[in-house]
Amino acid sequence: MSAQAGPTGVPRRRIAIDGPAGTGKSTLARTLAERLGGAYLDTGAMYRVATLQVLRAGIDPEDAAAVIAASADLPMEIGTDAGSERILLAGEDVSDEIRTARVTAGVSAVSAVPEVRANLVGLQRRLASGGGTVVLEGRDIGTVVLPDAEVKVYLTASPEIRARRRTEQDLAAGRDADYDEVLAAVIERDRKDSTRAASPLRPAEDAIVIDTSDLTLDEVLDRLVALAEGADASHGDAAEGNTQ
């Protein structure tokens, strides 16, 4: 993990934040990018858009061959502005629709297809290739998308805490949510995401693992800012351990 100049000559600071759903990852990654004045990319949203396209085409997400055909040409536009979530599919703003239970239920199958991943990983690397600070949030950023990122963090928390947070988030956003159902879905999605053959969910060997179960968002954010600033200062000799 080292800080080098990017193609524009601006020092590069690529921050990979991985982990399962419900760890506060999205809020933290977005807030961190804002705090550092950097760009932000929600890679989970990209898999969700691919899933929406598959569902709109009437295709079963488990039918890998049909999924590949339906998502090969994905008319998606995704911004890297930390201050606004704007994701378009064929020109239509789908930022709410990609969060529905229907899309969430299909996304593990779609994101397990290697061809879908190759397509989206290429796009993610292009979006992260400028100079300056960029925060990428996902499941395989530190292991596959940017294995040489300057900062790699893996956020985790117990399934019960993650299900409680997800339920509260959904209710606050006006979506239906039942804790027991959310918990079952969290456990099932973890199982699928971490046992799939293509880029399974796991911490990179050199990632800093932060268990957020007993921490507030602000406490985690402070740690992330300190890690990012440490990467600035170290310019090449990141001597962090891999647990915190």
Which residues line the annotated binding site?
Answer: 19-27
Binding site per annotation, positions for ATP: 19-27
Q: Report if residue 14 touches ligand DC, rule: CB under 6 A.
A: no
Which residues lie below 8 Å from residue 225, measured CB to CB, with a gap of 6+?
32, 35, 36
The smaller minimum CB distance to ligand DC, of residues 50 and 228, is found at 50
User: Least distance in Å: CB of 235 to ligand DC?
Assistant: 27
d(CA 134, CA 40) in angstroms, rounded, equals 6
Structure tokens at 132: 């300056």
DSSP of 152-202: EEEEE--HHHHHHHHHHHHHHTT----HHHHHHHHHHHHHHHHH-SSS-S-
Q: Report if residue 43 touches ligand DC, rule: CB under 6 A.
A: yes
Q: Report if residue 85 touches ligand DC, rule: CB under 6 A.
A: no
The helix or strand, by DSSP H or E, that contains position 227, with its residue range, turns out to be helix 217-234
Figure out which of the listed residues 189, 207, 224, 238 binds ligand DC, where binding follows CB under 6 A: 189
Binding window for ligand DC (CB under 6 A); candidates: 32-40, 87-95, 103-111, 166-174: 103-111
Distances (CA, A) of 233 to 1, 203, 210: 12, 24, 21
User: Least distance in Å: CB of 189 to ligand DC?
Assistant: 5
Cβ 134 vs Cβ 40: under 8 Å:
yes
User: Least distance in Å: CB of 239 to ligand DC?
Assistant: 27
Distance of alpha carbon 176 from its chain centroid, rounded? 23
Q: Report if residue 12 touches ligand DC, rule: CB under 6 A.
A: no
Q: Report if residue 17 touches ligand DC, rule: CB under 6 A.
A: no
Q: Report if residue 116 touches ligand DC, rule: CB under 6 A.
A: no
Binding mask 18-37 for ligand DC (x = CB under 6 A): ---x----------------
Binding mask 127-156 for ligand DC (x = CB under 6 A): -----------xxx----------------
**Which DSSP state fits 99?**
G
Structure tokens at 60: 């079963």
Q: Which residues bind ligand DC (CB under 6 A)?
A: 21, 43-44, 47-48, 107-108, 111, 138-140, 189, 193
